[in-house]
Structure 1
Amino acid sequence: MNIGIVFYSKTGNTRSIIERLEKELKKNDHMVKVFSIKEDQSFEKIDIEKYDAFIFGTPVHAFSVSEPMKNYLNQISTLKDKKIFFIATQALPYEWMGGKRTIKQMKKICESKDGIICESGIINWPNSNRDKKIIKVINKLNKSL
Structure 2
Amino acid sequence: MKIGIIVYSQTGHTLLVAENLKNKLTAAGHSAAVERLVPLSGEKDGKNIQFGNLPDLNQYEGLVFGSPVQAFSLAPVMAAYMKQLPPLNGKKVACFVTKGLPFRWTGGSGAVNRLKKEAEVRGGKVGAAGVIVWRGTSLDSNIAEVVDVISKSF
Indicate if the aligned counterparts of 2:74 and 2:114 stay in contact, CA closer than 8 A.
Answer: yes
| Percentage identity across paired residues of the two chains | 33
Give TM-score, length-normalised by structure 2.
Answer: 0.89
Which of these residues, 81, 84, 90, is aligned with residue 75 of structure 1?
A: 84
Match of 1:137 in 2: 146
CA distance in 2 between counterparts of 1:49 and 1:24 reads 22
In structure 2, the residue matched to 1:14 is 14
DSSP 3-state at the match of 2:132: strand
Aligned pairs, how many?
145
Aligned AA for 1:11?
T
1:116 and 2:125 are equivalent in the alignment: yes
1:127 Cα deviation after fit? 2.4
Query: What is the rounded CA distance, in whole Å, between the counterparts of 1:8 and 1:2 in structure 2?
Result: 20
Please list the CA deviations of residues 35-90 of structure 1 after superposition, one character each: whole Å capped at 9, or x if unmatched: 10115353533332221110000000111111111111111121111111111000
The one of 59, 63, 75 equivalent to 2:72 is 63
Long gaps (5+) in structure 1: none
Indicate which of 91, 94, 106 corresponds to 2:100.
91
Q: 1:83-128 CA distances to partner (integer Å, 9 max, x unpaired)?
A: 1111100010112210000011111111110110101010010122
Once residues 95 and 55 of structure 1 are traced to their aligned partners in structure 2, the CA distance between those partners, rounded to angstroms, is: 21
Q: Over aligned residue pairs, what C-alpha RMSD do you find?
A: 1.3
1:36 aligns with 2:45: no
| Unaligned segments of structure 2, at least 5 residues | 41-49
TM value normalised by structure 1: 0.94
